[in-house]
Structure 1
Amino acid sequence: MRQNVSSGSPWEDVVGYSRAVRVGQVIHVAGTTATVNGQVIGEGDAPEQTRVILAIIERALRDAGATLGDVVRTRLYVTDISRWEEIGRVHGEVFGAVRPAATMVQVAALIDPRHLVEIEAEAVVD
């Protein structure tokens, strides 16, 4: 059984994706940026963008029947890897006890030049 979770973003229909997809016990959360109601939050502030992103991911997981504690993997895409520690610290604040497998890589650009961070997550519910 498949459950698609929408965040209400107009881009979901245009691009043809879901914020999250649950199939059985596995939930995949799409690449998520700090965009709320079409506005980029935390412009120039990578830690703030990371906090906003993780809150959006948490809502998507909740809508799919999971919690941040169910996350087994995250992927962080950043536009400036020299900021890895400040971004990583926020990730650690949220996932410190959970300790999912995580990857952080620098990318040339994200969809909006104001985006500094994009995060994907995968969760498994018991």
Structure 2
Amino acid sequence: MSDASRKLVSSGSPYEREVGFSRAVRVGNIVEIAGTAPVGANAPGDMYAQTKRCLEIIAQALRDAGADVRHVTRTRVMVTDMSRWREAARAHGEMFGDARPGCTFVEVSAFIDPEWLVEIEASAVVDD
């Protein structure tokens, strides 16, 4: 694989340089979006608002990678409290209702920032 076929997408997250990751990486027609936290959501305790923020960041990363929400084939939604999964699912459904990617919800013990309630990963295949 040549470096020319690998496109790195940054969201400007302060963690990207420190951790050494890209928000998204596109190789050929495949786009992988890293775990996306609700950076800048300013919504402590609000699972729905935090999920919406994660999805906004993901949508921008997709655009920056030359893809769109309709290209998403899989999402992984990680929440700190599974009893609140429907709040995150509502936001997920609003964004992906037509695309209907494969989706997994998992409960985790914590994220880097203790105020974060959700983090989302996504995979996409650009078909056009």
Instruction: Give the TM-score range, shorter chain.
Output: over 0.9
Distance in 2 between residues matched to 1:17 and 1:86, nearest whole Å: 28
Q: How does 1:33-112 map to 2 (within 5 A)?
A: 33-36=37-40, 40-112=41-113
TM-score when scaled to structure 2? 0.93
Matched, 1:25 2:26: no
Alpha-carbon displacement from aligned partner over 1:64-104 (angstroms, at most 9, x marks no partner): 00011110000000000000111111111111111000000
Q: Which runs of 5 or more residues in structure 1 are unaligned?
A: none
- Which residue, 8, 13, 24 being the options, matches 1:9? 13
Aligned-pair identity in percent equals 57
Task: Give the CA deviation at 1:8.
Answer: 1.4
Q: Hey, which bits of structure 1, 4+ residues long, moved more than 3 A?
A: none
Equivalent AA in structure 2 for residue 29 of structure 1: I
Q: Which runs of 5 or more residues in structure 2 are unaligned?
A: none
TM-score when scaled to structure 1? 0.95
Distance in 2 between residues matched to 1:35 and 1:20, nearest whole Å: 15
Alpha-carbon displacement from aligned partner over 1:27-68 (angstroms, at most 9, x marks no partner): 0000001103xxx52111000000011000000000000011
Equivalent AA in structure 2 for residue 98 of structure 1: A
Equivalent AA in structure 2 for residue 95 of structure 1: F
Matched residues, number = 123
CA RMSD of aligned residues (A): 0.8
Please say if residues 31 and 123 of structure 2, whose CA atoms lie closer than 8 Å, have aligned partners that are also in contact.
yes
